[in-house]
Protein backbone atom coordinates (compact mmCIF):
# COMPACT_ATOMS: atom_id res chain seq x y z
CA UNK A 1 0.00 0.00 0.00
CA UNK A 2 1.26 3.47 -0.81
CA UNK A 3 1.26 6.25 1.75
CA UNK A 4 1.84 9.90 0.97
CA UNK A 5 4.15 11.39 3.56
CA UNK A 6 3.84 15.12 4.07
CA UNK A 7 6.74 16.86 5.73
CA UNK A 8 6.45 20.43 6.96
CA UNK A 9 9.73 22.16 7.69
CA UNK A 10 9.34 25.42 9.53
CA UNK A 11 12.49 27.27 10.58
CA UNK A 12 12.39 30.72 12.16
CA UNK A 13 13.75 33.29 11.59
CA UNK A 14 13.73 32.13 7.99
CA UNK A 15 9.91 32.08 8.01
CA UNK A 16 9.51 29.45 5.34
CA UNK A 17 7.22 26.47 5.01
CA UNK A 18 8.54 23.80 2.69
CA UNK A 19 6.07 21.05 1.94
CA UNK A 20 7.67 17.91 0.60
CA UNK A 21 5.54 15.13 -0.83
CA UNK A 22 7.23 11.77 -0.99
CA UNK A 23 5.68 8.47 -2.04
CA UNK A 24 6.97 5.56 0.00
CA UNK A 25 6.19 1.92 -0.73
CA UNK A 26 5.23 0.04 2.46
CA UNK A 27 3.99 -3.43 3.21
CA UNK A 28 0.22 -3.74 3.62
CA UNK A 29 0.29 -6.15 6.54
CA UNK A 30 0.63 -4.43 9.89
CA UNK A 31 0.95 -0.96 8.40
CA UNK A 32 -0.52 1.75 10.61
CA UNK A 33 -2.78 4.33 9.03
CA UNK A 34 -1.45 7.89 8.74
CA UNK A 35 -4.23 9.05 11.07
CA UNK A 36 -2.96 6.81 13.88
CA UNK A 37 0.68 7.94 13.90
CA UNK A 38 2.40 11.33 13.86
CA UNK A 39 3.54 12.44 10.44
CA UNK A 40 6.98 10.89 9.91
CA UNK A 41 10.10 12.95 9.31
CA UNK A 42 12.19 12.49 6.23
CA UNK A 43 15.73 11.32 6.96
CA UNK A 44 17.93 12.50 4.12
CA UNK A 45 20.46 9.72 4.66
CA UNK A 46 17.79 7.03 4.17
CA UNK A 47 16.34 8.30 0.91
CA UNK A 48 16.84 6.66 -2.45
CA UNK A 49 18.03 8.92 -5.26
CA UNK A 50 14.49 9.23 -6.74
CA UNK A 51 13.16 10.22 -3.32
CA UNK A 52 16.00 12.72 -2.88
CA UNK A 53 15.05 14.12 -6.29
CA UNK A 54 11.55 14.84 -4.95
CA UNK A 55 12.96 16.64 -1.93
CA UNK A 56 15.34 18.74 -4.04
CA UNK A 57 12.59 19.60 -6.53
CA UNK A 58 10.23 20.69 -3.75
CA UNK A 59 12.78 22.88 -1.99
CA UNK A 60 14.11 24.40 -5.22
CA UNK A 61 10.60 25.56 -6.15
CA UNK A 62 10.42 27.79 -3.08
CA UNK A 63 11.69 31.37 -2.94
CA UNK A 64 14.06 30.50 -0.12
CA UNK A 65 17.55 31.98 -0.12
CA UNK A 66 20.63 29.79 -0.26
CA UNK A 67 21.06 30.26 3.50
CA UNK A 68 17.47 29.16 4.13
CA UNK A 69 17.96 26.09 1.96
CA UNK A 70 21.10 25.17 3.89
CA UNK A 71 19.08 25.30 7.11
CA UNK A 72 16.33 23.13 5.57
CA UNK A 73 18.62 20.49 4.03
CA UNK A 74 20.88 20.28 7.06
CA UNK A 75 17.84 19.76 9.29
CA UNK A 76 16.83 16.80 7.13
CA UNK A 77 20.39 15.47 7.55
CA UNK A 78 20.23 15.35 11.36
CA UNK A 79 21.08 11.83 12.50
CA UNK A 80 23.17 10.99 9.44
CA UNK A 81 25.89 8.49 10.50
CA UNK A 82 29.45 9.80 10.82
CA UNK A 83 32.18 8.25 8.66
CA UNK A 84 35.65 9.75 8.34
CA UNK A 85 36.82 10.51 4.78
CA UNK A 86 33.46 9.41 3.40
CA UNK A 87 33.96 10.78 -0.14
CA UNK A 88 36.70 10.22 -2.69
CA UNK A 89 37.25 10.10 -6.44
CA UNK A 90 34.91 7.20 -7.12
CA UNK A 91 35.66 3.63 -8.16
CA UNK A 92 38.14 4.86 -10.78
CA UNK A 93 40.12 6.98 -8.34
CA UNK A 94 43.85 6.33 -8.18
CA UNK A 95 44.24 7.11 -4.46
CA UNK A 96 40.75 7.27 -2.93
CA UNK A 97 37.99 5.08 -4.33
CA UNK A 98 35.22 6.28 -2.00
CA UNK A 99 32.06 7.61 -3.73
CA UNK A 100 31.92 11.06 -5.34
CA UNK A 101 28.61 11.74 -3.52
CA UNK A 102 26.98 9.90 -0.63
CA UNK A 103 24.19 11.36 1.51
CA UNK A 104 24.05 8.23 3.69
CA UNK A 105 27.23 9.03 5.68
CA UNK A 106 29.37 12.12 6.22
CA UNK A 107 32.26 13.65 8.09
CA UNK A 108 32.41 17.31 9.10
CA UNK A 109 33.75 18.52 5.73
CA UNK A 110 31.64 16.33 3.44
CA UNK A 111 28.53 17.23 5.45
CA UNK A 112 29.10 20.93 4.76
CA UNK A 113 30.05 20.31 1.13
CA UNK A 114 26.98 18.25 0.33
CA UNK A 115 24.59 20.64 2.07
CA UNK A 116 26.10 23.52 0.08
CA UNK A 117 25.78 21.58 -3.18
CA UNK A 118 22.11 20.77 -2.50
CA UNK A 119 21.34 24.37 -1.57
CA UNK A 120 22.56 25.75 -4.91
CA UNK A 121 20.98 23.04 -7.09
CA UNK A 122 17.59 22.28 -8.63
CA UNK A 123 18.00 18.51 -9.07
CA UNK A 124 20.22 15.62 -8.01
CA UNK A 125 22.44 15.66 -11.10
CA UNK A 126 23.08 19.37 -10.69
CA UNK A 127 23.86 18.82 -7.00
CA UNK A 128 26.36 16.12 -7.97
CA UNK A 129 28.13 18.43 -10.39
CA UNK A 130 28.09 21.37 -7.99
CA UNK A 131 29.56 19.12 -5.31
CA UNK A 132 32.51 18.30 -7.55
CA UNK A 133 33.01 22.03 -8.21
CA UNK A 134 33.09 22.61 -4.44
CA UNK A 135 35.42 19.70 -3.70
CA UNK A 136 37.86 20.04 -6.60
CA UNK A 137 39.82 22.92 -8.08
CA UNK A 138 38.07 23.83 -11.33
CA UNK A 139 35.77 20.84 -10.96
CA UNK A 140 38.54 18.52 -12.20
CA UNK A 141 38.24 15.28 -10.25
CA UNK A 142 41.54 13.93 -8.92
CA UNK A 143 43.28 13.55 -5.58
CA UNK A 144 45.81 16.22 -6.62
CA UNK A 145 43.11 18.81 -7.39
CA UNK A 146 40.91 18.10 -4.36
CA UNK A 147 40.53 21.00 -1.91
CA UNK A 148 42.06 19.08 0.99
CA UNK A 149 42.84 22.07 3.25
CA UNK A 150 39.81 24.12 4.33
CA UNK A 151 41.50 27.49 4.75
CA UNK A 152 44.30 27.03 2.20
CA UNK A 153 42.37 25.33 -0.64
CA UNK A 154 38.64 24.96 -0.01
CA UNK A 155 37.87 28.59 0.84
CA UNK A 156 40.11 30.30 -1.76
CA UNK A 157 38.94 28.01 -4.58
CA UNK A 158 35.24 28.55 -3.80
CA UNK A 159 34.99 32.33 -3.95
CA UNK A 160 32.07 31.92 -6.40
CA UNK A 161 30.04 30.61 -3.44
CA UNK A 162 31.80 31.50 -0.17
CA UNK A 163 33.41 34.50 1.49
CA UNK A 164 35.51 34.86 4.63
CA UNK A 165 33.69 37.17 7.08
CA UNK A 166 35.98 36.60 10.07
CA UNK A 167 37.40 40.12 10.08
CA UNK A 168 33.99 41.65 9.28
CA UNK A 169 32.52 40.04 12.40
CA UNK A 170 35.54 40.02 14.70
CA UNK A 171 37.06 43.42 13.90
CA UNK A 172 39.71 44.36 16.45
CA UNK A 173 39.19 41.04 18.26
CA UNK A 174 40.84 39.15 15.39
CA UNK A 175 44.28 37.59 15.58
CA UNK A 176 46.53 36.15 12.88
CA UNK A 177 48.05 32.69 12.68
CA UNK A 178 50.85 31.65 10.30
CA UNK A 179 51.65 28.06 9.32
CA UNK A 180 53.22 25.99 6.56
CA UNK A 181 50.86 23.92 4.39
CA UNK A 182 52.68 20.88 2.99
CA UNK A 183 50.50 19.38 0.25
CA UNK A 184 53.23 16.99 -0.89
CA UNK A 185 53.72 15.64 2.60
CA UNK A 186 49.98 15.17 3.01
CA UNK A 187 49.68 13.25 -0.27
CA UNK A 188 52.59 10.99 0.66
CA UNK A 189 50.99 10.29 4.05
CA UNK A 190 47.88 9.11 2.18
CA UNK A 191 49.92 6.85 -0.10
CA UNK A 192 49.26 8.92 -3.20
CA UNK A 193 51.80 9.15 -6.02
CA UNK A 194 53.15 12.65 -6.55
CA UNK A 195 52.57 14.62 -9.76
CA UNK A 196 55.58 16.63 -10.90
CA UNK A 197 53.75 19.94 -10.61
CA UNK A 198 52.66 19.53 -6.99
CA UNK A 199 53.32 22.90 -5.28
CA UNK A 200 56.07 23.28 -2.73
CA UNK A 201 55.16 23.84 0.96
CA UNK A 202 53.32 27.15 1.34
CA UNK A 203 53.75 29.58 4.21
CA UNK A 204 50.49 31.43 4.77
CA UNK A 205 48.49 33.33 7.38
CA UNK A 206 44.79 33.35 8.28
CA UNK A 207 42.72 35.57 10.53
CA UNK A 208 40.77 34.06 13.40
CA UNK A 209 38.76 35.12 16.44
CA UNK A 210 39.88 33.77 19.85
CA UNK A 211 37.56 31.18 21.35
CA UNK A 212 36.33 33.32 24.24
CA UNK A 213 34.65 35.74 21.83
CA UNK A 214 32.33 33.16 20.23
CA UNK A 215 29.12 34.37 21.99
CA UNK A 216 29.80 37.96 20.89
CA UNK A 217 30.46 36.92 17.29
CA UNK A 218 27.50 34.52 17.11
CA UNK A 219 25.09 37.28 18.14
CA UNK A 220 25.96 39.11 14.90
CA UNK A 221 25.28 36.13 12.61
CA UNK A 222 22.07 35.55 10.65
CA UNK A 223 22.36 31.76 10.42
CA UNK A 224 23.78 29.17 7.98
CA UNK A 225 27.28 30.59 8.23
CA UNK A 226 30.10 28.04 8.42
CA UNK A 227 32.06 28.07 11.67
CA UNK A 228 35.60 26.68 11.36
CA UNK A 229 37.52 25.69 14.49
CA UNK A 230 41.12 26.88 14.18
CA UNK A 231 43.66 24.58 15.76
CA UNK A 232 47.02 25.38 17.32
CA UNK A 233 48.49 22.20 15.85
CA UNK A 234 51.10 22.57 13.13
CA UNK A 235 50.41 21.77 9.49
CA UNK A 236 46.69 22.63 9.35
CA UNK A 237 44.44 25.52 10.30
CA UNK A 238 41.00 23.86 10.45
CA UNK A 239 40.29 21.00 12.84
CA UNK A 240 36.49 20.96 12.50
CA UNK A 241 33.60 22.82 10.88
CA UNK A 242 29.81 23.02 10.79
CA UNK A 243 26.90 25.43 10.35
CA UNK A 244 25.61 28.09 12.72
CA UNK A 245 21.83 27.65 12.95
CA UNK A 246 19.35 30.11 14.46
CA UNK A 247 16.48 27.99 15.78
CA UNK A 248 12.81 28.93 15.97
CA UNK A 249 12.94 29.32 19.76
CA UNK A 250 15.73 31.90 19.58
CA UNK A 251 18.60 29.57 20.35
CA UNK A 252 21.89 29.45 18.43
CA UNK A 253 23.06 25.96 17.48
CA UNK A 254 26.18 24.44 15.96
CA UNK A 255 24.99 21.83 13.42
CA UNK A 256 27.83 19.48 12.57
CA UNK A 257 28.90 15.91 11.91
CA UNK A 258 30.26 14.87 15.28
CA UNK A 259 33.10 12.34 15.43
CA UNK A 260 32.34 11.93 19.15
CA UNK A 261 28.65 11.10 18.87
CA UNK A 262 29.03 9.56 15.38
CA UNK A 263 26.19 11.46 13.75
CA UNK A 264 25.05 14.84 12.48
CA UNK A 265 23.65 16.71 15.47
CA UNK A 266 22.72 20.12 16.86
CA UNK A 267 24.98 21.30 19.67
CA UNK A 268 23.84 24.29 21.75
CA UNK A 269 26.22 27.23 21.44
CA UNK A 270 26.93 27.27 25.16
CA UNK A 271 28.09 23.62 24.98
CA UNK A 272 30.40 24.44 22.09
CA UNK A 273 31.81 27.41 24.02
CA UNK A 274 32.64 25.19 27.01
CA UNK A 275 34.21 22.56 24.80
CA UNK A 276 36.40 25.12 23.04
CA UNK A 277 37.48 26.66 26.35
CA UNK A 278 38.53 23.25 27.69
CA UNK A 279 40.52 22.23 24.61
CA UNK A 280 43.91 23.94 24.56
CA UNK A 281 44.43 22.87 20.94
CA UNK A 282 41.55 25.11 19.79
CA UNK A 283 42.90 28.63 19.36
CA UNK A 284 39.68 30.12 18.04
CA UNK A 285 37.43 30.12 14.99
CA UNK A 286 36.93 31.56 11.52
CA UNK A 287 33.59 32.41 9.91
CA UNK A 288 32.56 31.78 6.31
CA UNK A 289 29.36 33.13 4.78
CA UNK A 290 27.48 31.69 1.83
CA UNK A 291 26.66 34.20 -0.89
CA UNK A 292 22.94 34.76 -1.49
CA UNK A 293 23.75 35.67 -5.08
CA UNK A 294 26.32 33.44 -6.69
CA UNK A 295 28.72 35.45 -8.84
CA UNK A 296 28.74 32.99 -11.71
CA UNK A 297 27.40 29.49 -12.35
CA UNK A 298 29.99 26.83 -11.55
CA UNK A 299 31.49 25.13 -14.61
CA UNK A 300 30.49 21.58 -15.45
CA UNK A 301 32.54 19.07 -13.51
CA UNK A 302 34.49 16.40 -15.36
CA UNK A 303 32.54 13.10 -15.51
Phi, psi of 76 (to 5 degrees): -65, -25
pLDDT in tens, 232-272: 999 999 999 999 999 988 899 999 999 999 999 999 999 99
Residue 301 lies in a domain: no
User: For position 24, what pLDDT does the model report?
Assistant: 34
Give the list of residues 6+ apart from residue 284 with CB closer than 8 angstroms, or none: 175, 208, 209, 210, 211, 213, 230
Could you tell me if residue 295 is inside a domain?
A: no
In a domain, 203, yes or no: yes
Supply the range of the domain harboring residue 51: 2-290
Average pLDDT of adjacent 10-residue blocks, the chain of 303 residues: 37 40 36 35 91 93 92 96 97 92 98 97 96 96 95 97 98 98 91 72 97 97 97 97 94 97 98 96 97 64 45
- What's the DSSP call for residue 151? I
Q: What is the Cα 186 distance to its own chain's centre?
A: 22
The CATH number of residue 217's host domain is: 2.30.260.10
Residue at 27 is within a domain = yes
Query: Which residues on neighbouring strands pair with residue 3, listed in sequence order?
Result: 24
pLDDT single digits (tens) 189-232: 888 876 656 678 999 999 999 999 999 999 999 999 999 999 99
Residue 202 lies in a domain: yes
State yes or no: cis peptide before 13, omega within 30 of 0.
yes
Q: How many domains does the chain have?
A: 1
Mean pLDDT of the chain: 86
d(CA 123, CA 175): 41
Stated pTM of the model: 0.85
Does 213 reside within a domain?
yes
Domain membership flag for residue 144: yes
Percentage of residues in the chain having pLDDT higher than 70: 82
**Is 111 within the bounds of a domain?**
yes
Amino acid sequence: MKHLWLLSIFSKPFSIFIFILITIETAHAGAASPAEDPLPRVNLHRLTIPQAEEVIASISRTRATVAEKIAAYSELALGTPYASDSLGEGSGGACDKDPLMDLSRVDCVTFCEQMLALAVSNNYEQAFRNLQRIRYRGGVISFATRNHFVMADWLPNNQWLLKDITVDIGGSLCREMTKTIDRKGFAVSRGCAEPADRPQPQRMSVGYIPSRHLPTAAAQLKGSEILVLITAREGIFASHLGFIIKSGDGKTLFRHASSIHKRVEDEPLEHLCRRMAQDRQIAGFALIAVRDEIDQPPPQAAP
